[in-house]
A and B are shown apart, each in its own frame.
Chain A
Amino acid sequence: SAVISQKPSRDICQRGTSLTIQCQVDSQVTMMFWYRQQPGQSLTLIATANQGSEATYESGFVIDKFPISRPNLTFSTLTVSNMSPEDSSIYLCSVERTRGPDTQYFGPGTRLTVL
């Protein structure tokens, strides 16, 4: 399995500000993903972070609100822009490994609270 770390592990932010979340993997991976888990809810895929090209966003998520970078095969960032209390969630990154075509390994998550 992959060792995945996320920074910060948690943060409390003010409305209107932005937060950048980092995801670091201990080995090169092809596919990296970003998910959101709102309080008491299941996970929702935000986007696929593509190395060397723009991220692919799911319906309901846009680049202006959630810009993503993927500068290399071990690192990605997700920015939550112009935050509102509705953005309070756990944000998780995941990577795909070769164990199976859709087997993903998840980071520990970043717990964001927006006041």
Chain B
Amino acid sequence: DAKTTQPPSMDCAEGRAANLPCNHSTISGNEYVYWYRQIHSQGPQYIIHGLKNNETNEMASLIITEDRKSSTLILPHATLRDTAVYYCIAPGGSARQLTFGSGTQLTVLP
């Protein structure tokens, strides 16, 4: 697994975009970047993943830099229900085991 680095916590105002950064400078060429989140007392929830190109789904957008050393998860209109710990993971091309780091505690403020 590539090592990922995330800020321990962030705040965001409700209705504004939440931009969560992740550094994965040791990522290899075939490693995807995955984002999960864990709302308090629940199991982690898959959000999005990407390899090289930017990705968007119904939950979020993922922006990956051209050198692939960092990425940003964007929640375009954060709500109070988006308050959670967000994990950025680069599990490796052949490994299925997810290694969860400390993640970023996002708090959406009313």
A58 to B93, CA, bound (A): 18
Question: Quick one: CB contact mask for A53-75 with B, threshold 8 Å, 1 for yes?
Answer: 00000100000000000000000
- Are the CB atoms of B43 and A107 closer together than 8 Å? yes
- Name the contact of A102 in the complex, choosing from B32, B44, B101, B102 (C-beta under 8 A): B32
User: Which single member of A1, A48, A109 contacts B97 (CB below 8 Å)?
Assistant: A48
Is A101 a contact partner of B100 (Cβ separation < 8 A)? no
Scoring A residues 40 to 55 as 1 if CB is less than 8 Å from chain B, else 0, what string do you get? 0011110010000000
Best-surrounded residue of B43, B49, B87, B96 (most CB of chain A within 10 A): B43
Q: Which residues of B contact A45 (CB under 8 A)?
A: 97-99
State the interface size on chain A (CB cutoff 8 A): 25
Q: Is B96 within 8 A of A96, CB to CB?
A: yes
Return A14 CB to nearest CB of chain B, in Å: 24
A33-B97, A42-B101 known; A105+B46 contact, CB < 8 A? yes
Q: List the 5 shortest-distance A-B pairs measured between CB atoms, nearest first.
A: A106-B43, A43-B100, A42-B100, A102-B91, A106-B44
What would be 14 A-B contacts, judged by CB atoms less than 8 Å apart?
A: A31-B96, A42-B87, A42-B102, A43-B44, A44-B100, A45-B99, A92-B44, A99-B46, A100-B32, A100-B34, A102-B96, A104-B44, A106-B45, A109-B42
